[in-house]
Amino acid sequence: MLRTMGSAGVVVAEDTHGREKSRKSGWLWPVGVMATGFAGVVLVALRGCWHRRMSWPVRMQGHAYQVCLGCGAKRLFDEEHFRAYGPYRYDLNELIAWKKASNTEKRTLPHVERPAS
């Protein structure tokens, strides 16, 4: 099953928050890959790269992202929660556009700050 990149070029990985079982589940890894989303799988199909080795997060114009050491795919990185999110893209501008689009949706969420007890 392979989604073609449509005219919009948007292949969004549906990240279920924080559920990536990267290390623990040896035999479960295909499930983990599927849960991680299809964007990575599509790039795997194209490049034969699993994006296993990601660079240390790089910050650029207020955006943090990681770069795959194998093929150069980029992925946004959440410094607050210290995890990567969103689709894999080779073009940083596409990631920034994706981020802006998703940010406008999430902006309605209440900003919760835990009071220091």
Q: Does 41 bind Zn ion (CB under 5 A)?
A: no
Nearer Cβ to Zn ion, position 88 or 98? 88
Angle separating helix axes 29-36 and 38-47, nearest 10 degrees:
110
Q: How many CA atoms lie within 13 A of 57 on its CB side?
A: 15
Q: Which of residues 66-95 bind Zn ion (CB under 5 A)?
A: 68, 70-71, 73
**11 near Zn ion (CB under 5 A):** no
Give the span between the Cα atoms of 50 and 67, in whole angstroms.
12
Judged by CB under 5 A, does residue 51 bind Zn ion?
A: yes
49 in contact with Zn ion (CB under 5 A):
yes
Q: Which residues bind Zn ion (CB under 5 A)?
A: 49, 51, 68, 70-71, 73
